[in-house]
Amino acid sequence: MERGTRRSARNPLPEGLGQAIRETAGDIAGLLRAATDTTVPVPGLEWSVGETAAHLALAGALMADLAAGRERPYGDGTPGSLAAANARSLDEFPERGAEPLAALIVDGADAFLAATEEAGPGRTLLTPLGPMEPDVLASYLLTHMLGHGWDLARGLGRPHMIDAARVGLCLPFLKTAMPRVAVAPAGLEARYALRVRGGESFGVTFSDGTAEVHPDPPRSPDCTIVTEPVTFLLIALGRLGPWQAMARGGVLAWGRRPWLALRFPTLFEAP
């Protein structure tokens, strides 16, 4: 869906989300087309630039199939099973060239958006992280692209494409995924108020180690965390640690138990 339009009977995506997916795919393709060597390693990953780009191309095709309602088993939702599925798919797909992969990433984004519009709203789709509605799956795709777009930008020494508007469009997926990827210890009782600076506020509570996301912050939170948007996404995706974020001024925290802010990222395991 393009900016300036809203959900319709044919297109279930919120305003700006379709355009953000297309633009992010184009930004990633631009990074790759300017690359002279796809064998260089990506900091923080076990993959090279070419392997990371190949994973993005494969993920785009997977997401397009899911959006079309096709069954595509891909692990069981746990980080270990998803890592194993990623490794198998890369072994079976030898392409590492910048130009072919750039084209495949753009094609995958286009195919996903076409499938989403063709099928329309009102469906529940099966994904590697459990059932999702089409708008949440689209938010998932954007989040995944931005995370690995960041990786590619670091590997190639180029500017990244994450901004506040795109982070806001990632929140539906991130809030859906939080309870599914929580690894909080049994017995944990904590109430968090989270706010992305200039954007949305919501609550996350833990009761006996089980996480629950709320549309509004709790009335009496144990810890309030305010995060700069890009920092929020990088922490959520495991690209930035809480101490690094605080040192950069990207996070502020206060409340009756402010030390819980440092613990918050450790309560989830990004797939």
- Runs of H (alpha helix) within 70-163: 79-91, 98-119, 134-156
pLDDT at residue 1 above 60? Answer: no
List, for residues 171-194, the tens digit of each pLDDT value.
999 999 999 999 999 999 999 999
What one-letter code names the amino acid at 33? R
What is the enclosing helix (H) or strand (E) of 225? strand 223-227
Instruction: Indicate the pLDDT class of residue 10, thresholds 50, 70 and 90.
Output: low
- What percentage of the chain carries pLDDT values higher than 70? 96
pLDDT of residue 249: 86
pLDDT of residue 7: 54
pLDDT at residue 5 above 60? Answer: no
pLDDT at residue 253 above 50? Answer: yes
pLDDT at residue 4 above 70? Answer: no
What is the enclosing helix (H) or strand (E) of 254? strand 251-254
pLDDT of residue 12: 76
pLDDT at residue 234 above 70? Answer: yes
- State the CATH class of domain 181-267: alpha beta
- Per domain, the residue ranges of the chain are 17-177, 181-267
Report, as an integer, the average pLDDT of 235-244: 91
What one-letter code names the amino acid at 142? L
| Second-level CATH architecture of 17-177 | Up-down Bundle (1.20)
Q: Judging by DSSP bridges, how do beta strands 189-196 and 130-132 pair with one another?
A: unpaired
Residue linked to tokens 């992969």: 101
pTM greater than the 0.75 cutoff: yes
List, for residues 185-226, the tens digit of each pLDDT value.
999 999 999 999 999 999 999 999 899 999 999 999 999 999
Distance CA 140, CA 249 (A): 27
Interior angle at CA 80, CA 43 and CA 77, nearest 5: 110
